């Protein structure tokens, strides 16, 4: 069984790690990562509902590290603000 080089199209044995024609790795799997930031609206949702941010963190973890990071920090800030608000509510209610 054979495949073709992704760089120059030369036929390769599957065991080739370097192309005999162009000298580059012939079977590179391009796993392009999405480095864009999280949408501001999604950030707000993650902030208001930290659970959503947590889910988004795991959803984007491998494919879009920046989005995952944004979702995580939005969720953490959301939880922190929630926590502070609860303390304030408890203190002022006592």
- Binding residues (CB under 5 A) for Zn ion: these are 5, 7-8, 10, 19, 21-22
Alpha helices (runs of H) in the chain, residue ranges in sequence order: 40-48, 50-60, 65-93
Residue 3 C-beta: closest distance to Zn ion, Å: 11
H or E element in which residue 4 lies: strand 2-4
State in angstroms the smallest separation of the CB of 20 from Zn ion. 7
Nearer to Zn ion, 8 or 49 (CB): 8
Q: Select 19 or 38, whichever has its Cβ closest to Zn ion.
A: 19
The pairing of beta strand 2-4 with beta strand 11-13: antiparallel
């Amino acid at each position: 069984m054979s495949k073709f080089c992704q760089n120059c199209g030369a036929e390769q044995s599957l065991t080739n790690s370097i192309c005999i024609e162009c000298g580059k790795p012939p079977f590179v799997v391009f796993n392009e990562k999405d480095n864009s930031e999280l949408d501001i609206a999604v950030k707000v949702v993650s902030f208001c509902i930290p659970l959503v941010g947590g889910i988004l963190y795991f959803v984007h973890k491998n494919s879009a590290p920046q989005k995952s990071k944004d979702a995580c920090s939005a969720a953490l800030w959301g939880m922190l603000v929630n926590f502070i608000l609860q303390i304030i509510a408890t203190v002022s209610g006592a």
